[in-house]
Amino acid sequence: MSPRVLVLGGTGEGRRLAEKLAQLGISVVSSLAGRVREPKLPVGEVRIGGFGGREGLAEYLRAERIGTVVDATHPFATRMTENAVSATETTGTELLVLRRRAWSPGPADEWHQVDSLAEAAEKVGELGRRVLLTTGRQELGCFAAARDIWFLVRTVEEPEQPLPPNMTTLTARGPFDTAAELELLRTHRIEVIVSKNSGGSMTEGKLDAARRLGLPVVLVRQPDLPPAPVVHTVAEALTWFRERGSHAG
């Protein structure tokens, strides 16, 4: 029985990588956190739910004879990444981080980049009173004190408490193209967008729309990369595996 690959997924990149590795004849298991009720499932074996911290993940790696872990989680899933670094160090397992590149501003963009949602909440009041908030359904409590601002909160599922007092929720799953985003911003008379700098094309349409309308955007910077090999695309990840022929078969 050859060593297996564990893909810590939940992203489009994770799903695509699991499919490509399976096509190469590599035994892959994808792990999803289970925070979304109806997640898009990757090809092959899937486990849903947490591991029980870094110790639980290390125990799983040993028990399941995992040879390589690919951290293909969301760029802001910092706790899972920290657990992956610790568990792979403890067990001597290879770790590869698949992290999509952050968005970069163009000359026509008015971006205000901050390091946390708390900073974003402080900044947004300086820029507008009608806000499209697309930072995910957790940690919205950072904006709960903004009583003179109206928020359109867009999440995949219903957001968690506490919530901003003046808000409307919109549950939707991307991709969101530029035309649809332009219509959304105009319909709701949005004056500023707040988002995490997640990178990728699935939700980039709102940035294109903001550029066309001349709207400011508050973006939370991606966390620092962990001390591990990092690739930014599925193609780069496959190259990394092929260079280790013992895994690629």
SS (H, E, C) 176-199: CCHHHHHHHHHHCCCCEEEEECCC
Written as six digits, the tokens of 157 are 């599922």
**pLDDT, tens digit (0-9, with 9 covering 90-100), for 183-213:** 999 999 999 999 999 999 889 999 999 999 9
Q: Torsions phi, psi of 208, nearest 5? A: -65, -45
Q: Is the pLDDT of residue 233 over 60?
A: yes
**Mean pLDDT score of the chain:** 92
Fold of the domain spanning 110-220: Rossmann fold (3.40.50)
What is the longest distance spanned by two Cα atoms in the chain?
61
C-alpha neighbours within 13 Å on the C-beta side of residue 241 = 30
CATH superfamily, with its number, for domain 4-101+224-248: NAD(P)-binding Rossmann-like Domain (3.40.50.720)
Report whether 219 contacts 199 (CB < 8 A). Answer: no
Highest mean pLDDT among 13-17, 137-141, 173-177: 13-17
Alpha-carbon dihedral sign for residues 167, 168, 169, 175: negative
> pTM of the entire structure?
0.89
Confidence of residue 248 (pLDDT cuts 50, 70, 90): very low
Q: Is the pLDDT of residue 246 over 60?
A: no
**pLDDT, tens digit (0-9, with 9 covering 90-100), for 22-31:** 999 999 999 9
Residue 88, H or E segment: helix 78-91
CA dihedral of residues 11, 12, 17, 23 (deg, nearest 10) = 130
**pLDDT, tens digit (0-9, with 9 covering 90-100), for 72-130:** 999 999 999 999 999 999 999 999 999 999 999 999 999 999 999 999 999 999 999 99
Within 8 A by CB and 6+ apart from 4, the residues are: 26, 27, 28, 29, 64, 65, 66, 67
Within 8 A by CB and 6+ apart from 108, the residues are: 211
User: Which residues of the chain form CATH 3.40.50.720?
Assistant: 4-101+224-248, 110-220
Q: What is the pLDDT of residue 160?
A: 83
